Amino acid sequence: MAKKQLFSLSVNGEEVDVASPSDATLLETLREDLRVLSPKRGCNQGVCGACTVLVDGVPVRSCLTLTALCEGHDIGTVDGMGEDPILATLQKHMVEKGGVQCGFCTGGMLMSARNLLAETPRPSRDTVKSALSGNICRCTGYRTIVDAVCGAAEELAQ
Ligand code: FES
Ligand code: FES
């Protein structure tokens, strides 16, 4: 394992200094060193989207992102965005419409959906599908998740 190094990160609005292996991925630092657990380790190869977090508001695969490259950037995860009105509305609709089953994909899915609604407040159903196409869900069949994002967009637009 690589030697540990001190990184200064901004995670969910808090400045933190964390010792992580110098070659750690952001997913490893978040889960193993900071105990931020909503980003999940699925494939660990950039395919499933379960590890998706926001870096400066943009969804990234944290399993493919080096912690060393994240200093000076704002890292956001579901754990620390409870006050965010877009995320709160998405979470409400995900629960109401049955978009959460085992929950493994949910943190990453919400990060992609949150970015979509921040950039495109009234997306078409096809745009929602395309925005979530990098997030794999093994449980729901996706329809309820797309319903939830469309429902959240409608509510936020009112
Ligand atoms: S764990 Fe990162 S994309 Fe699957
Ligand atoms: S709810 Fe189980 S993987 Fe999506």
How many structural domains does the chain have?
Answer: 2
Structural domain including 52 reads 4-80
| Residue 45 CA to ligand 1 centre (angstroms) | 5
Q: Which two tokens stand for residue 89?
A: 């509305």
Residue nearest to atom 3 of ligand 1 (CA): 46
What are the pLDDT digits (tens) for 43-78? 999 999 999 999 999 999 999 999 999 999 999 999
Residue partners of 105: CB distance under 8 A and separation at least 6: 40, 42, 48, 49, 50, 135, 136, 137, 138, 139
- CATH number of the structural domain spanning residue 133: 1.10.150.120
| Residue 50 CA to ligand 2 centre (angstroms) | 9
Q: What is the mean pLDDT of residues 8-30?
A: 97
For residue 145, what pLDDT is reported? 98
Q: Is 138 in the pocket of ligand 2 (CB under 6 A)?
A: yes
Does the pTM exceed 0.75? Answer: yes
Q: What is the mean pLDDT of residues 102-117?
A: 97
Rounded-to-integer distance, Cα 92 and Cα 89, Å: 5
Give the domain-ending residue among 36, 52, 80.
80
Nearest atom in ligand 2 to the alpha carbon of residue 139 is: 2
| Residue 103 CA to ligand 2 centre (angstroms) | 5
Q: Is 142 in the pocket of ligand 2 (CB under 6 A)?
A: no
Q: Is 95 in the pocket of ligand 2 (CB under 6 A)?
A: no
Asked if residues 51 and 111 have their Cβ atoms less than 8 Å apart, the reply is: no
Taking 80 as the threshold, does the pLDDT of residue 1 lie above it? no
**98 and 52 part of one domain:** no
Asked if residues 62 and 108 have their Cβ atoms less than 8 Å apart, the reply is: no
Taking 90 as the threshold, does the pLDDT of residue 2 lie above it? no
Q: Is 109 in the pocket of ligand 1 (CB under 6 A)?
A: no
For residue 81, what pLDDT is reported? 87
What are the pLDDT digits (tens) for 115-148? 999 999 999 999 999 999 999 999 999 999 999 9
